[in-house]
Structure 1
Amino acid sequence: MSEHITTFSKIHFTPTDPVLTDIKIEDIAHALSLLCRANGHFKSFFSVAQHSINCATEAKERGYSKRIQLSCLLHDASEAYISDITRTVKKQLPQYIEFEDRLQKLIWNKYLDQPLSDEETRQVFEIDDAMLYYEFLNFMEEEIFNFTPCLKGVPDFECKAFEDVERQFIILFNRLTGKEKNYISVGIDGCKGGWLVVAISNETFEVGKFKTIEEICIRYQGADSLLIDIPIGLPESKVDVVKRPDNELRTLLSKKASSVFNTPFRQIVYAADEKIAWELNRELDAKQTPISMALCKAIKQVDVFLQNNPQWKNRLLESHPEYCFYLLNGGIPLEDNKRDDYGQEKRIDILKDCFSESQAVIETYKKQNKLRKKIDDVLDALCLAIVGRLGCNDGYRTIPDLPYQDCTGLNMQITVFKRK
């Protein structure tokens, strides 16, 4: 029987005699996102990775340094290689404690510039114990200490897809170690009088309104990702319609299929006036609705820009906010209306998990648009910006997998990030 285990990244790792170079953050994030707290006895799944993220977030709320935040994120990293044992049993296993201590120190030594001081160690494990207390209070309705620990932040105890937690763990690790690339991602959504734009870069952002797509592309010509909620790649016949991603998107969104409108034919988009557009709709049997016809002016603006600026072809890319929210929500469609308070709060919570400044983005939008109470436009634009940023980190995929092109060479696709 071999002395090693095989990790997620296919490394043969010996927990009793660990090698520094064999420790990989990808293995730690993956394993901890699948390892349940409390030996699996909580009423719903809650992973060690989620616990670790909560600890790191609490350290930030307390004003601790990034070094302490990183230490909190990694304080249970040894469990990725030796699993976890309940505290009552662990006390009876001195050799396990020895292995755990050696491995944990090796992990910290790899990712910290110097060993933790006694005070730093106290800070880390004080947060660890506080989180343990509130986890049992939340999941088991049990107070495990005879005192109530103080928390500065609000822990996130939501049950989440392990892939999303794994990604969140890696993103936080990269941010705390300075390895996060400074991608600029832009989300664009149509709004009254033009286009609403949210541009994000690490933890900074911009919110703005533009009259034309050209203005946006000039302003953000150096961006790594530009996703827009408008059809790109127009059909000219019924044969072309089936090449568009619309039908596949409706199937994926199930009960939210109505959020996917029929894409107008190019002939209709370029019609001289609305009357002619409706006549063409009947002649071509294009099955357009008043909603999709109302988009023609915006669709034409984007199409004209792309035809006149070929360097932007297949760089300014179509996406779909409702499908993006579906992905960010672990593959579950958001059935609540995005214009209702509850539906908006649900979307905000999802966005905050992916981008820490999401609430600030929304508040900035509100200040800029004091007369407009609805925030659905900024939620959609922010969602696209976040999805673009995830694509920069994890890579992109399209619907369909192998897109067709329209007669002008524009890909007919929906662009999103790859789910690991």
Structure 2
Amino acid sequence: MPLPFAGIDGCRGGWIVARWDGNANLRLMRVAAVADVFDAPQPPVTAAVDMPIGLPERIGAKGRAPERLVRPLLGKRQSSVFSVPSRAAVMAGIGDGDESERYRAACAAARASSDPPRAVAKQCFHLFPKIAEVDLLLRNRPELCNQLVECHPEVAFFVMNGQRALELPKKVHNRPHPPGLDLRIRLLEAWGIPTDLLNEQNARALGAGLDDLVDACACAVSARRMSDGKALSFPDPPERDAFGLPVAIVA
């Protein structure tokens, strides 16, 4: 059956994908690479990924325009939006070398391309391979820019919650917070996502956390809103990076 919308969320060693028809049919899967989503026999019409698209050559104190625009909307959840470093910093931090050496190289590149100079947070550094994967995919296959947009689950939930920030976190001290996860699952259900698959058993089977499944479904809602012409864009219109990739969070 056609599943035209896809939400993509990074997990350890791969990506969780929520394929959705906009109604009662949802499929959750794990893929090794984002390209696999589009190389499938029936690729999605629209997909939204929780990963930055469009990397700056230089970066200011509060990140790209998308980060600066969405943080004030999220209340206590704004810390979930990290500042994306420059492309030079990301590329310096990937590869097969020693991790500590790559981290030092990334921090040096980040300081040289930021104002004021700042290093890279370790949490962000560990996302560099996935950031680079999406960046290189879209640079090599620019036609996918019409199908794949950047989103952020907490911004998606902000929209689903009537443009109100969620009070409850989904994690506390880096552990799942059931009340926050339940709140998000209820919002997904209200927006038409079948939620019977959103449980710990399915998460373990996919080698991911329940929050990864929930976030992928939130991205799928953003993908459908994009396809329907109803999505919000931060900024609107999107900016463009040096390679012409759009720079905007869509929800």
TM-score (norm 1): 0.52
What amino acid maps onto 2:72 in structure 1?
T
Asked whether 1:276 is paired with 2:111, we answer: no
By how many angstroms is 1:404 displaced? 1.1
Structure 1 stretches of at least 4 aligned residues deviating more than 6 Å after TM superposition:
none
By how many angstroms is 1:236 displaced? 1.2
* Change in 2 beyond 3 A, CA 1:307/1:391: closer
CA deviation digits over 1:331-388, x for unaligned, max 9? Answer: 2211212120100111111111112512x2314x733624968310000001111232
| Partner residue, 2:36 | 215
Q: Is the 8 A contact 1:235 1:244 kept in 2?
A: no
Q: Give the 3-state SS of the residue equivalent to 2:198 in structure 1.
A: helix
Matches within 5 A, 1:20-419: 184-201=4-21, 202-219=23-40, 222-238=43-59, 243-271=64-92, 273-284=102-113, 285-338=117-170, 339-358=176-195, 360-363=196-199, 366-367=201-202, 369-370=204-205, 374-416=209-251
Measure, in 1, the Cα distance between the counterparts of 2:193 and 2:134: 31
Decide which structure has greater strand share: 2
What amino acid maps onto 2:197 in structure 1?
V
* Change in 2 beyond 3 A, CA 1:212/1:309: same
By how many angstroms is 1:203 displaced? 1.2
By how many angstroms is 1:311 displaced? 1.3
Q: Is the 8 A contact 1:238 1:286 kept in 2?
A: no
By how many angstroms is 1:330 displaced? 1.2
| Partner residue, 1:99 | none
| Partner residue, 1:64 | none
* Change in 2 beyond 3 A, CA 1:373/1:391: closer
Measure, in 2, the Cα distance between the counterparts of 1:342 and 1:336: 7
By how many angstroms is 1:309 displaced? 1.1
Runs of 5+ consecutive residues of structure 2 not aligned to the other structure: 96-101, 171-175
Segment drifting more, 306-315 vs 215-224? 215-224
Segment drifting more, 371-380 vs 207-216? 371-380
Cα RMSD for the two superposed structures: 2.3
Identity %: 30
Measure, in 1, the Cα distance between the counterparts of 2:45 and 2:132: 24
* Change in 2 beyond 3 A, CA 1:220/1:393: farther
By how many angstroms is 1:224 displaced? 2.1
Measure, in 2, the Cα distance between the counterparts of 1:221 and 1:269: 32
CA deviation digits over 1:211-235, x for unaligned, max 9? Answer: 1111122127642210000000001
The structure that has the greater radius of gyration is: 1
What amino acid maps onto 1:186 in structure 2?
A
Q: Is the 8 A contact 1:190 1:196 kept in 2?
A: yes
Measure, in 2, the Cα distance between the counterparts of 1:240 and 1:407: 20
Decide which structure has greater helix share: 1
| Partner residue, 2:173 | none
TM-score (norm 2): 0.84
Segment drifting more, 345-354 vs 367-376? 367-376
What amino acid maps onto 2:130 in structure 1?
A
